[in-house]
Amino acid sequence: MMRPNGSEPGRERRGSGGWADVLAHEQHLVAPGSEWRSALWAVASEQFNSAADRLDLDPQVRVRLLDPRRALTVNFPVRRDNGDIEIFTGYRVQHTLAIGPTKGGIRYAPGVSLGECAALALWMTIKCALLGLPFGGAKGGVRCDPTRLSPAELERLTRRYTSEIFPIIGPDRDIPAPDMATGEREMAWFMDTYSQQVGHGVPESVTGKPVVLGGTAGRQAATGLGVVFSLETLVERLGWRLAGQRVAIQGFGNVGAVVAGELSRRGASIVALADVAGGIVAPNGLDIDAVHAWVAEHRFLRGFPGAEPKTQNGVLEVPCDILIPAALEAQITAENAPRLQCRLVVEAANGPTTPEADRILTDRRINVLPDVLANAGGVTVSYLEWVQDQQKYFWDADEVAQRMRGQVLEALDRVLTLADERGVTWRMAAQMVAIQRFAEAARLRAVYP
């Protein structure tokens, strides 16, 4: 049956309010949903739609799932160190309110936009649902170049951004966390600003805080450790041995550096690494302790003795068994996917593979462990931090890591099992498991009023 505005009922995601007719006559109007437009939203929504197509979802439920439920855009002044006032734009997008409060990081980057936050918030919903966490997804950030702001300017920006989004955040509403260019320092300012507004300390208002403020043991290494736990088990299920695998990692920050250290400790050979300034390659394996010492002294990887220099993107194409993009979005594209020389891609970054590249990798039989599973150790430990803050009782790093490991491996098992049963990619299976869970929550809560 076709609706009056021409869309098929199964695919329809909006009310049939006659938009098609309105748009035909009013050229200056933008199509509903275009407020989320961004390259990343196109990727996230395509992944969602193709998984939703495979699930036999009630169209009445599906119509409620894709678009973010709530978004706040703020423009706010910040005093620079020289006395000038500058206006910054920030966002907070809450993707689904169906399952408890929302959860997701805050990033400072020049490319931050409403559409980028919307895509990342949708992925957070998928991640939380896949891991069985009692959260919907959220994401926020400020459009800025954090490398050009002094610590004092970053503090004023963080505090003002926190008070701008104050009306929609809180321990039972939306709990921020670190993301690109934010960490413990920013979370401490965030927690302090939130606490000043309500008049008492509220550690559970944010995760990724310093331990002394109610942070959890093991949060900083959590995302990297989660990558390693899932990879270890996956490799075993594939009948490989982790020891001796050649691994290339793009990114040597909070995630990439932890992954490199943990994998080399388990006997894997790290043949390539890259950071923002460029990459290094050593086909016989890098000494990761020596690399850490070099970076501590020289800030960047470049110039590391005995390794061949490569571009940041060049490391994606070196011969290896396991390729781990652990930096930015959209790194593996239709352009370079045909040249990858690995057997397995593990997405430690959010959204590193475009859908076209994904199809090329599937055709080339290169399996991809998707971001929503591979890097979910971070948000899982954030959940454990929030739980500890609420109960005012804290676990040690081992306890935290073991609880996280259990949750990540359970999700991995569900994904691999569904992928086998249905003959779909791991990404598709991960999306399907997650969508089923939050679709069920939306269905049971029904529509108010």
d(CA 371, CA 354): 12
In whole angstroms, the minimum distance from the beta carbon of 378 to ligand GLU comes to: 4
Q: How many CB atoms lie within 10 A of CB 362?
A: 15
| Segments in 199-280 forming alpha helices (H) | 222-237, 256-265
Residues in 333-362 at the binding interface with ligand GLU, rule: CB under 6 A: 350
Cis check for the bond before 110: say yes or no (omega within 30 of 0): no
Q: Could you say which of 68, 90, 101, 104 contacts ligand GLU (CB under 6 A)?
A: 104
Question: Going residue by residue from 149 to 188, which x/- string records binding to ligand GLU, judged by CB under 6 A?
Answer: ----------------------------x-x---------
d(CA 269, CA 283): 9
Per-residue burial over 55-69, b if 16 or more Cβ lie within 10 Å, else e, is eebeeebbbbbbbbb
Sign of the Cα torsion 98, 101, 106, 110 reads positive
Sign of the Cα torsion 415, 227, 69, 2 reads negative
Q: Could you say which of 92, 95, 103, 427 contacts ligand GLU (CB under 6 A)?
A: 103
Per-residue burial over 104-139, b if 16 or more Cβ lie within 10 Å, else e, is bbbbbbeebbbbbbbbbbbbbbbbbbbbbbebbbbb
Q: Does 379 bind ligand GLU (CB under 6 A)?
A: yes
Catalytic machinery residues:
139
Q: Which residue number, 207 or 264, has a Cβ lying nearer to ligand GLU? A: 207
Q: Which residue number, 288 or 381, has a Cβ lying nearer to ligand GLU? A: 381
In whole angstroms, the minimum distance from the beta carbon of 270 to ligand GLU comes to: 23
Q: Which residue number, 136 or 278, has a Cβ lying nearer to ligand GLU? A: 136
Chain CA centroid to CA 367, Å: 19
Residues in 185-224 at the binding interface with ligand GLU, rule: CB under 6 A: 207
Q: Does 378 bind ligand GLU (CB under 6 A)?
A: yes
Q: Which residue number, 181 or 280, has a Cβ lying nearer to ligand GLU? A: 181
Three-state DSSP state, 344: strand
Counting residues that bind ligand GLU (by CB under 6 A) gives 11
Q: Does 326 bind ligand GLU (CB under 6 A)?
A: no
Q: Which of 405, 370, 400, 367 is nearest to 385 (CA)?
A: 400
Q: Which stretch binds ligand GLU (CB under 6 A): 65-73, 236-244, 327-335, 372-380?
A: 372-380
In whole angstroms, the minimum distance from the beta carbon of 375 to ligand GLU comes to: 6
Q: Could you say which of 105, 218, 224, 251 contacts ligand GLU (CB under 6 A)?
A: 105
Q: Which residue number, 103 or 310, has a Cβ lying nearer to ligand GLU? A: 103
- By the 10 Å C-beta count (0-12 exposed, 13-18 middle, 19+ buried), 428 is classed as buried
Q: Which residue number, 314 or 378, has a Cβ lying nearer to ligand GLU? A: 378
Q: Could you say which DSSP state residue 350 is in? A: S
In whole angstroms, the minimum distance from the beta carbon of 440 to ligand GLU comes to: 22
Q: Which stretch binds ligand GLU (CB under 6 A): 32-40, 97-105, 166-174, 283-291?
A: 97-105
Q: Which stretch binds ligand GLU (CB under 6 A): 48-56, 373-381, 412-420, 424-432?
A: 373-381
Taking phi over 0 as left and psi of -120 to 50 as alpha, with beta for the rest, 26 belongs to beta
Q: Which residue number, 221 or 281, has a Cβ lying nearer to ligand GLU? A: 221
Contacts of 193 (CB under 8 A, 6+ apart): 158, 159, 162, 163
Q: Which residue number, 125 or 207, has a Cβ lying nearer to ligand GLU? A: 207
Q: Which stretch binds ligand GLU (CB under 6 A): 25-33, 274-282, 327-335, 374-382?
A: 374-382
Q: Which stretch binds ligand GLU (CB under 6 A): 34-42, 235-243, 329-337, 376-384?
A: 376-384
Strand order in the sheet with 367-369: 308-310, 278-281, 269-275, 246-250, 322-325, 344-346, 367-369
In whole angstroms, the minimum distance from the beta carbon of 139 to ligand GLU comes to: 8
Positions that interact with ligand GLU (CB under 6 A): 103-105, 177, 179, 207, 350, 375, 378-379, 382
